[in-house]
């Protein structure tokens, strides 16, 4: 392989927004009369907004009409926006900037591959938006992870075949999506959970400085 490109997931890899999703979903569950725990929240990582609501309603055994669901999706996102519009560069996860600097120095292009429709706003809040060669987010795809659509679009922007793309992901669905199309998958987080990844690190600070050079 002589050329690689990188695709980064956002939530849980570049920024820790899971805590804000949790607070907003918890508030909604409270309104609906049941408790939503941090363990429940694990089930929503990497999952689209619509699917997340279905999982949450299933936990609370609540049935809602499509119209009601739509209204709750909007109110949850409004709550979530209240948190993310207060985010700043200090919320970039440790190691993320160093990796982007390394990639810039090696002339390796990188794009975002996220399920979130709020991805552009979050990247702007933390001051990283302009660094990416492209943004693929929840607005650009019709099929959510574990479908590989988001990463395939990413590889097109990078103008590289999937096998030359390295994906950084914290969610099982994201690792599965990358593996389906033979991308090089890197699991960020618990190795036991992300055991299907080609490489595993607890967080981005653990990625060795020569990791990309070795792949080249
Ligand atoms: C993913 C998160 O990145 O984006 C999920 O891991 C979230 O928890 C999904 O549900 C959709 O995010 P948003 O911002 O469009 O509601
Ligand atoms: Mg994620």
| 79 part of the active site | no
Residue nearest to atom 4 of ligand 1 (CA): 116
Q: The pTM is what?
A: 0.95
- Backbone phi, psi, residue 12, to 5°: 95, -10
Calculate the CA dihedral of residues 13, 83, 121, 146 and round it to 10 degrees: 40
Residue nearest to atom 14 of ligand 1 (CA): 116
Residue nearest to atom 8 of ligand 1 (CA): 45
Q: Three-state DSSP class for 213?
A: helix
Spell out the domain ranges in the chain.
5-16+91-215, 18-84
DSSP state of 47: -
Question: Which residue in the block uniquely carries the two structure tokens 């302009």?
Answer: 130
**Could you tell me the two tokens for 22?**
């949790």
Q: Three-state DSSP class for 188?
A: strand
- Cβ neighbors of 89 (< 8 A, separation 6 or more) are 126, 127
Which CATH number is associated with domain 5-16+91-215?
3.40.50.1000
- Ligand 1: residues with CB < 6 A are 10-11, 21, 44-49, 52, 77, 114-118, 138
- pLDDT level of residue 42 (50, 70, 90 thresholds): confident
- Share of residues in the chain with pLDDT > 70 (%): 99
Pocket test for ligand 1, best of 69, 138, 173 (most atoms within 8 A of CB): 138
Q: Which atom of ligand 1 is nearest to the CA of 138?
A: 15
Tell me what the mean pLDDT of segment 53-63 comes to.
97
**Could you tell me the two tokens for 5?**
């490109």
CATH tag for 18-84 (out of 3.40.50.800, 1.20.140.10, 1.10.150.240, 3.40.50.720): 1.10.150.240
Q: Is the pLDDT of residue 22 over 60?
A: yes
| 54 part of the active site | no
- Share of residues in the chain with pLDDT > 90 (%): 96
Tell me what the mean pLDDT of segment 125-148 comes to.
96
- Residue 53 CA to residue 172 CA, distance in Å, equals 19
Q: Which atom of ligand 1 is nearest to the CA of 170?
A: 6
Q: Is the pLDDT of residue 2 over 80?
A: no
Do 28 and 76 form a contact (C-beta atoms < 8 A)? yes
**Could you tell me the two tokens for 137?**
């987010």
């Amino acid at each position: 392989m002589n050329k690689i490109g990188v695709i980064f997931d956002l939530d849980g890899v570049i920024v820790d927004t899971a805590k804000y999703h949790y607070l907003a979903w918890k508030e909604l569950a409270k309104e609906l009369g049941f408790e939503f725990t941090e363990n429940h929240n694990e089930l929503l990582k990497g999952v689209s907004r619509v699917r997340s609501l279905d999982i949450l309603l299933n936990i609370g055994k609540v049935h809602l009409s499509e119209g009601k669901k739509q209204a709750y999706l909007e109110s949850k996102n409004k709550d979530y926006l209240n948190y993310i519009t207060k985010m700043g560069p200090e919320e970039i996860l440790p190691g993320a900037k160093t990796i982007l600097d390394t990639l810039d120095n090696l002339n390796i292009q990188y794009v975002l591959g996220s399920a979130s429709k709020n991805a552009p706003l979050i990247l702007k809040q933390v001051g990283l938006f302009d660094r990416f060669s492209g943004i693929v987010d929840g607005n650009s795809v019709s099929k959510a992870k574990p479908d590989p659509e988001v990463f395939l679009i990413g590889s097109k922007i990078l103008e590289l075949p999937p096998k030359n793309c390295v994906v950084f992901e914290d969610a099982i669905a994201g690792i599965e999506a990358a593996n389906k199309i033979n991308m090089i998958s890197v699991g960020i987080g618990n190795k036991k959970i992300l055991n299907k990844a080609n490489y595993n690190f607890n967080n981005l600070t653990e990625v060795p400085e020569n990791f990309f050079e070795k792949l080249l």
